[in-house]
Amino acid sequence: MNELVSRTSKRAAGAALAILVSLTLVPRANAQDTATSEPSAEPAPGAVVETPATTEAPAEAAVAPAEEPVVTAEPVAMPEVVAEEEEVAATEPEAEASSWTDNLSFRVFADAYVAAHWTLPNGFEGNQSAIIGHRAYDIYGGPSLAWAGLDLRYAPDPLGAAIDLRFGTAVPRLLGAFSGLPEGLQFLKQAYVSWRPIENFQIDFGQFDTIYGAEVSESWLNPNYSRGSLYNVVQPFYHMGFRASYAVIPELTLTAIAVNGWNNVSDNNDGKSVGIQGALTVGDFSVALGYLTGPEQSDCNAIPGPDDPPIAGCVTDEDLGDHDGRFRHLVDLILRYSVGDLALVANGDVTIEDFGPAGYTTIAGGMIGAQYRFIPEFALALRGEVLYFEDTDESLTTGTFTIEVAPDPHLVFRLDNRLDVSSYDQFVDNSGQPSELVFSSILGVVAHSD
């Protein structure tokens, strides 16, 4: 009896093991393989053994066909992924080819004005620079086109470039006969190449605007339409040479220049000028302090003496000594502060120059200005200046009141009412007599693309 029980237990265990094996192998085999493998086990004498075998086989056979679609579906998905990757890869070269235009930008503008110099003889016509030469670009009476400009920029990445072209009656004051530029360059305001090896450092080489002073030649970028006498008499306009700028931190930038001099593309002596500026911005307040030094007097004498030898196509004036050793020094300070719609600016300059036997010449000047923008389309501005000429003990004071109307972000109307007062009879009145003052009204209209 015990032997029968033992044999029955062994057979039951074997049958159970066979069932477990079949459950494991059925998903990987077909129903026919499962059916043929089961008879290899010894038949069980009792129903306990036979019932699981006959019950599990049909269940596994039913499950197996359900697994087949899952296995065959996987290869179908693969071509879709590959196709998407190929499509993305195909678009990448096109994006790279067009990205260079992202660094390219341009600006065009036109700047015209109508001036009435009320206190001058024939103040509604012609060039009045012989009388009001201390002014920059509003010297003509009546209607005049001051500027027509085109600016091109290619932002350095790491190489870039800039070209600014200017045309109009203001060009001779900035770039033409009065600046000594050679023919072919009198319409070129800026032209330089840039190299930016890292994000916060850039080197420029060519002709570029000066880094000194609070005002610029583009009128709509200043609070007033006319430029002040500090801008025109004391400060340089542009330089030719190298400029390097380094942002120590986002709030502090250092700039250094090594150039031919003041407003010189081709230098008039063997010496060069060097300058530096530090600009710090803290919230709504900014300060910039700069220094420029170098020889600015010409080696050539227009009216030579009998003993002055010619050198390199010009004539040196040996009586005046070494021009390259006579330096001009400029110290420039700019302060700006904005609070809400009110913007304040102050600019101070001192220049000292060695003229050899004639001694030193010192010019000191200061400007303070304010602009309040009531709404985006309307603003008022004030500017006051004082210039002092130490060698002649003379002074010049200017005051300008400006009304601005901007009906469109790209269109600006400005009316300047300006009074200039000299400490001596520098001007001429309507009757042709010497006068200490001149009063003008200038209506300027500027259309610009940026």
Q: What's the whole-number mean pLDDT along residues 204-225?
A: 97
- What are the DSSP calls for 400-448, one per residue? EEEEEEEEETTEEEEEEEEEEEESS--EE-TTS-EESEEEEEEEEEEEE
- What are the DSSP calls for 371-405, one per residue? EEEEETTEEEEEEEEEEEETTTTEEEEEEEEEEEE
Cα–Cα distance list, 433 to 177, 269, 313, 430 (Å): 29, 41, 43, 7
pLDDT reading at 27 higher than 50: no
pLDDT reading at 60 higher than 50: no
Q: Residue 264: helix, strand or coil by DSSP?
A: coil
Residues in the chain: 450
CA distance linking residue 190 with residue 275, whole number of Å: 19
Delimit the domains of the chain by residue range: 2-97, 118-448
Cβ(418)–Cβ(384) below 8 Å: no
- Say what the pLDDT of residue 265 is: 85
- Say what the pLDDT of residue 181 is: 61
CA distance linking residue 144 with residue 150, whole number of Å: 19
- Say what the pLDDT of residue 91 is: 53
Mean pLDDT, the chain, integer = 81
Q: 418-438, pLDDT tens digit by residue?
A: 999 999 998 999 888 999 999
**Lowest-pLDDT range of 54-63, 225-234, 303-312, 408-417:** 54-63
pLDDT reading at 24 higher than 90: no
Residue 256's closest CA among 208, 185, 321, 297?
Answer: 208
CA distance linking residue 396 with residue 385, whole number of Å: 8
CA distance linking residue 314 with residue 301, whole number of Å: 7
Strand partners, 147: 111
Q: 90-129, pLDDT tens digit by residue?
A: 555 555 555 778 999 999 999 999 999 999 998 898 889 8
Q: What's the whole-number mean pLDDT along residues 235-251?
A: 97
Q: How confident is the model at residue 40 (pLDDT cuts 50, 70, 90)?
A: very low
**Who has greater pLDDT, 341 or 305?**
341
DSSP label at residue 29: S
Q: Which amino acid is at 387?
A: L
pTM of the model: 0.74
**Who has greater pLDDT, 309 or 158?**
158
Q: Roughly what angle, to the nearest 10 degrees, separates helices 2-25 and 47-98? A: 20
Q: How confident is the model at residue 298 (pLDDT cuts 50, 70, 90)?
A: confident
Q: Which CATH number is 118-448's, of 1.20.120.430, 3.90.15.10, 2.40.160.10, 3.90.1150.10?
A: 2.40.160.10
- Say what the pLDDT of residue 372 is: 99
CA distance linking residue 449 with residue 111, whole number of Å: 12
pLDDT reading at 239 higher than 70: yes
